Amino acid sequence: MIRVNDEPADYHPGMTVADVLRTFGYVAATVAVWVDDQIVPRGDFDTNVLRDEADIRIVLMAAGG
């Protein structure tokens, strides 16, 4: 099991940040992601493999003024 924004979520070996974003309906270009308190560069979403019990934070980027 992993945690995504403090909610438990299913985990499977080989799961990447990009898999989590797809599962939860996020668009990669509109979010910032931290895994275990480390920011994940957007270019690494497809290759950053998660570990069981990872703590993932997904924050929507917003424009405003």
CATH of the domain at 8: 3.10.20.30
The number of folded domains in the chain is: 1
Which is nearest to 33 in space by CA: 47, 22, 18, 23?
Answer: 18
The answer to whether position 8 is within a domain reads: yes
Domain residue limits at 12? 2-60
The answer to whether position 43 is within a domain reads: yes
The answer to whether position 65 is within a domain reads: no
Q: What are the two backbone dihedrals, phi and then psi, of residue 17, each rounded to the nearest 5 degrees?
A: -60, -40
Which is nearest to 8 in space by CA: 47, 55, 48?
Answer: 55
Distance CA 54, CA 43 (A): 19
Distance CA 31, CA 13 (A): 23
**pLDDT tens digits for range 3-48:** 999 999 999 999 999 999 999 999 999 999 999 999 999 999 999 9
Residue 65: which pLDDT band, with cuts at 50, 70 and 90?
low
